[in-house]
Chains A and B, each alone.
Chain A
Amino acid sequence: MSKIYDVIIIGAGPAGLSAGLYAGRSRLSTLIIEKAREGGQIVNTSEIANYPGSLEEESGPALIERMKSQAKRFGAETVYDTVSEVELEGDVKTIKCLANTYQAKTVILANGAYPTPIGCPGEREFTGRGVSYCATCDGAFFEDLEVYVVGGGDSAVEEALFMTKFARKVTVVHRRDELRACKSIQEKAFANPKIAFLWDSVIKELKGEELLDTMIVKNVKTGEQTEVKADAEDGMFGVFVFIGFRPQTALYEGKVKMQNYYIVTDENMNTSIPGVFAAGDIRVKSLRQVVTAASDGAIAATQVEKYLEAEACSVI
């Protein structure tokens, strides 16, 4: 625990990796702490079509792989550890993890967000047994089976389209009577013969023997509840959930200023604590995309450099 880094970046998604790249290029001693694997939510995305310069039909993992090696090339270190406690006040910030404790003069919070669960009985129990939040991971299991995709935004409809590569039939379950996804994606979905829609509907319960085979769907307009059972031949179906994200901010509650669980920053990514910055999906912002996460990371790292320069001057 002897080394004090210039900056510790918590989270290795697009925001964290972009911050790592910029910090590394500025010759700041940089540590990225990642609890599981680089990429964040983007690892679960089958195609990144809207990131400027991304290759045609490039997957999330492939894009992240390039971001990762780019950050590494400029000297950012990465450790795999889970942050358990943070002390953010003062000139030296302490980040306690399960395996080790790390210290730095500044911190960039780039934990990102995780998929919002449906929140119904059976969901947790059947995760990995029919319920999934990752089409690229689990889509292939549902070859020639029926799949329900929950949500109506860009990612839900894009993943529904992706699932038609495997599934016999894909039904989009959406709580409203129209999609929120952008028009170009909607058009593709409406034109795809394998995709059906269950409007005004929410899933109330997921059930099964060992694998998911039954669900209760409620029509939010009529209040009517219907039991949907798997085709007898199949004996199971899949439910893929894409209904938005929640910020991973539990560690920072009561420490930095938040609004509705998101961290509040100014346009330079400053949080309410000097020397603590936030970047990416974790902060209050209007558009949560790879491109805006990468932008946040770049700004945060640049501000870290300015903050360190100012601190150095004030010491002298």
Chain B
Amino acid sequence: MLVVDKETFGPEVLEAEGYVLVDFFGDGCAPCAALMPAVEAFSEKYGDQIKFTKLNTTKARRLAISQKVLGLPVIAIYKGGEKVDELVKDDATEANIEAMIQKYI
């Protein structure tokens, strides 16, 4: 998974071609840490069809808020600079994430 930050979020996510998945996580967020291995596994499985990225919001708070992310974890799908789909908090389960990925491949 490509690590993005507040500098690279623009070019790597918003201006990228095709669908981009973003895993929004944070330093103190235990549910995020628990979910991350599942997302990493999906990036192995689907990485050639969707670009997988992750953003540490603790170091990019304003960027997260600008993306309407105020609660973690969030797994979002971007296309053409817009967030087209997302799973927030309790909805961000392994099964739901895989179902969301499959909608866009």
Contact = CB atoms under 8 A, between A and B. Distances in A.
Contacts of B72: 128, 137-138
A262 B51 CA distance: 45
Contacts of B61: 140-141, 143
A138 B70 contact: yes
B71 interface: yes
Interface stretch (B4-12, B15-23, B28-36): B28-36
A136 B93 CA distance: 19
* Chain B interface category by residue count: 20 to 34
B30 A60 contact: yes
Interface in A122-177: 127-132, 134, 136-141, 143
Contacts of B70: 128-130, 132, 138, 141, 211-212, 236, 238
B87 to A, nearest CB: 10
B95 A82 contact: yes
B2 interface: no
Interface string A59-94: 111001000000000000000101000000000000
A38 B71 contact: no
Contact of B27 (A80, A129, A140): A140
* Chain A interface category by residue count: 20 to 34
A141 B68 contact: no
B36 to A, nearest CB: 10
A140 B71 contact: no
Contact of B95 (A43, A98, A141, A212): A98
Contacts of A291: none
Contacts, number: 88
A128 B74 CA distance: 8
A132 B72 CA distance: 9
A98 B73 CA distance: 22
B70 to A, nearest CB: 5
Contact of B30 (A43, A131, A139, A236): A43
Contacts of A37: 30-31, 34-35
A281 B29 CA distance: 23
A228 interface: no
A14 interface: no
Nearest to A99: B95
Contacts of B34: 36-39, 43
Given A129-B70, A211-B65, A211-B70, A140 B31 contact: no
Closest 6 pairs (CB-CB, A-B):
A128-B71, A61-B30, A37-B34, A128-B88, A137-B29, A43-B30
Interface of A: 35-39, 43, 46, 59-61, 64, 80, 82, 98-99, 127-132, 134, 136-141, 143, 210-212, 236, 238
Interface of B: 26-35, 57-58, 61, 64-65, 68-74, 88-90, 93-95
